[in-house]
Amino acid sequence: MGDSGTATTRERPLIGAAQQVRHLKDRGVRFELTDEREAERFLRESNFFFKVKAFAKCFSRYTNPDSEHFGSYINLDFAHLAELTRLDHHLRETVLSLTLDIEHYMKVELNKMIMDEGDDPYELMASFFNSERERKVRVLEKRVDLDSVRSKAPTVMGLSGDLAAQDAETVISALASILHLASDSLDGIDPEHTERSLAGLGGSSYTRGLIEKYGDPGHMAVEELGIDRELVSLTKRAPIVHDFTALALCYMHIAKSENARGDAAGQLRALRRRFMAHRDYFSKQGELKNGLAMLSEVMDKTADRLSRP
């Protein structure tokens, strides 16, 4: 028997690539564009089942209980899932590249402002750190579960003695346990990064600040990039699309270097070509089709703007 503390609510057997293919096939996934042998190779050497299967939620199922296909996916081929994992990878690469540039040029701008103002940089940074500390406290006040914290007090006190131990393993183990307890009380929220997470762009104070300065991403996609208003409206339920739009708009306003802007334009054009390579795969899935169309427009229009002198 395993440790009850680590047992999951629903245990699932470990299955090989061939069984994973059969599992997908039993749920209506076809293997016409990609045959079963190639799918097995893909699941063994290029990707992993849970990432591939996660994209199946983008596709419709038969919902009529009287249908012999009830619960099975409609018009879903393994090639569609494999393509989405590849697009996800390419999108992440571009997002990382753009965000690194944004971080760099924000630091450049901050450094220039400090030099131009002539203030004591140490006092300025001390003020910033104090402000950050106060912000984190406000975040914790809103989100921390005080009852959960109090219930863990005896455990934390029991671990406190281990923090003074001589051997490093005991100290590190105690510290890890305390951090784990803190994470539980915060429902897994990391106050250091919660306001900066790209996944949380939709409602973060960071995005609210961007909206105040530059406007709502959807509105700016129409006004500044010239994207069709109806297409923007059709993708309101796709936060990743609008998060990427916000990222593109931020880049346009923050990155000033012509070389960086030219490189980014090239990346966006290459990404758009990759996204359009198999767009016919998703022509019958409304949300996917609209989301890809919106992303394509954002990439194209942003690349055009970044290429202008």
- Short-list 304, 307, 277, 306, CA closest to 292: 277
Q: How far is CA 168 from CA 156, 159, 173, 175, 179, in A?
A: 18, 14, 8, 10, 16
Residue found under tokens 């209506």: 28
List of the chain residues with pLDDT < 50: 1-8, 189-204, 206
Select from 191, 287, 297, 207 the least CA-distant residue to 247: 207
Are 82 and 55 spatial neighbours (Cβ–Cβ below 8 Å)? no
- The pLDDT assigned to 74 comes to 93
Q: Tokens 């997908």, residue?
A: 24
Give residue 73's pLDDT.
Answer: 95
pLDDT of residue 167: 84
Choose among 297, 274, 301: nearest CA to 90: 274
Give the per-residue pLDDT at 2.
45
Return the ∠ at Cα 18 (arms to 14 and 20), rounded to 5°. 55
Instruction: Report pLDDT digits (tens) over 175-189.
Output: 888 877 777 666 654
